[in-house]
Structure 1
Amino acid sequence: MKRLFALLPLLLMTAAAPASDVTGNWVTEDGTALIAIGRCGNSVCGKVAKALVIKPGRAETDVKNPDPRLRKRPIIGMTILSGFKTDGGGWKDGRIYDPETGKTYRSRLRLNTDGSLKVSGCILFVCQSQRWTRPR
């Protein structure tokens, strides 16, 4: 019994480890952008690191932003993931900003068993998810 209690902290640390694995570079589901996710204090945040595919007519600045003062800021380098709290197996209660629509959604991040990242954006109780992958 004493051995079980001695191992319990180690097991709990191991169970919480996958949440930190979301850091690094990720290719979005449509393959158009590279997102760099890193630590931001006790949380994680993500920035657009690079455009991998330039879609015709796609703006290089945040033209859809509802705040007119922010419409000239470049999309490359922009923080699109912020405010996440760890839940042991992933990250919850964050925000994801979509520069293509200028909208911000509640978001969750969870590492899948295949090593990909499930990125969910939600409005009320309706969520849509994408599967992001590590660059090759």
Structure 2
Amino acid sequence: MASTSNHPKAAPGVATDSHHPFRTGWTAFAAVLMIFGGAMAIFQGISAIAKDDVFVTTRNYVFQFNLTGWGWIHLILGIVIVLAGCALFTGALWARVAGVVLAGLGALANFAWLPHYPLWSIVLIAIDVFIIWALCAAPGGRERA
């Protein structure tokens, strides 16, 4: 007698119901951190665009870019990071990959932002590192308790 499964087939890149990535703690943790970190990057970008005199400007810095330009970079990157964080809740594999790439780009952008607002940059770099770690900690939905 052939056994039939009542479980529907998963779409490519989406895990099956028993190992759904959203149900794993690290993916949910990464999604929440991405939404929070992206929102903070959005606020960082808005404040840089609106009030250039709030931030410290340094001379002879390697990344010579005005604060308004950095503000637009952080604003756009923050929006994309929030959207990718929301996509992580679907459990799609592409969302995990995009999350790692975007968190890496966010960390690089905040590293370049260090002279303008060091404490904020260090906090956001740490959040990006936690996102990358959480998304890479348990690939394939196999987590250890």
* Shared fold, TM over 0.5: no
Larger radius of gyration: 2
**TM-score, length basis structure 2:** 0.32
Asked which structure has the greater RCO (Cα within 8 Å, sep 6+), the reply is: 2
Higher helix residue share = 2
**TM-score, length basis structure 1:** 0.33
Higher strand residue share = 1
